[in-house]
Amino acid sequence: MLLFSIHILTLMGASFSMGGVSNLYLKHRTPILREMLLFLLSLMLITAGFAMMTFPPGLSPVAGSIRILMSLFGGGLNVYVIPRLASELCDIPLNRGFRMLHALFSASFIFLGIGFFLVPSGLWILTVLLIMQIVAIAGGIGFIAIKTGGLRKRWWYPALRVFLLGSCGFLLLLCGDIVITLVPINSFSFLDNLSLPLYLLFLSFGIFVFSANYLSRGSLISELRLTSDCVEYYKLSTRETELIELLLQGLSNRSIAEKLFISPKTVENHLYNIYQKFSINSRNQLLHLLLNWKNG
């Protein structure tokens, strides 16, 4: 009963947070909010499935099937959204090869999930699904950990570090949950299935605060022109501002050089300085950052 109460309170808190983030997303349509919303939804579905496991004995077959479906759908959505969320948090678009690999990984998870739903006694399938879930979470954490070094100048860097540490803690607790479940350890049984509710509470509060902070900042572009907030925040010169706005129009380095009456080498030098100010490494990353900040 205690574990069931914890799950219900967690779901209530997450529902409140998700409602707030949904409202913000409907108003601003930013990709990073969309991925946060899907990530939060996936955890809520998994948590709801675990909560139903704590129901009194005698659960009807229909309710049992709903529990399995919620857990599997939440797990599949979680596997799908983690790389996308990591990409948005780090402002690094996923390349085509990785997107194809990710699609194959997600499809495999869904296929195995359907197999487990049809044959619930196939415990080996459940084991594989759990391993895939851990791989997806660990991969997202690893990606963010590797890329955070280049994000030290971003205003959300402290929040990203907190998210990273909380996710690492969740991964350790999740592995502990699995061990306690597969190899019953009576002295630690009170910790079983607690990792997800705790992590969901942590994320519910963190995502809501992050979203509000994110949206309190001005847009970076408006009608393919940099806003004063953007110019001021990144300390851009007049020439750098002109050059970025031409990039937003799709001009090549040579075309920009001709339009500004400067050499292609000077354009490259300006671009290098711009990349340093934005803490990025390429034109694609710059365009991704500008176009996805508030214009998703």
- Kindly report, residue by residue over 235-278, the tens digit of the pLDDT: 899 999 999 999 999 999 999 999 999 999 999 999 999 988 88
Residue 222's DSSP bridge partners are 225
Q: How confident is the model at residue 295 (pLDDT cuts 50, 70, 90)?
A: very low
Q: How confident is the model at residue 194 (pLDDT cuts 50, 70, 90)?
A: low
CA distance linking residue 14 with residue 201, whole number of Å: 7
Average pLDDT over residues 200-208: 69
In this prediction, residue 182 carries a pLDDT of 63
In this prediction, residue 92 carries a pLDDT of 79
The CA–CA distances, whole Å, from 126 to 47, 55, 62, 140 equal 17, 21, 20, 21
Cβ burial of 184 (10 Å; 0-12, 13-18, 19+) is exposed
In this prediction, residue 161 carries a pLDDT of 78
Instruction: Supply the Cα-derived Rg of the chain in whole angstroms.
Output: 23
Residue 103 has pLDDT above 50, yes or no: yes
Residue 66 has pLDDT above 90, yes or no: no
Higher pLDDT, 110 or 198: 110
CA distance linking residue 219 with residue 227, whole number of Å: 7
CA distance linking residue 64 with residue 72, whole number of Å: 12
In this prediction, residue 3 carries a pLDDT of 63
Percent of all residues in the chain with a pLDDT value above 90, rounded to a whole number: 18
In this prediction, residue 296 carries a pLDDT of 38
In this prediction, residue 255 carries a pLDDT of 93
Residue 109 has pLDDT above 80, yes or no: yes
Instruction: Give the length of the chain.
Output: 296
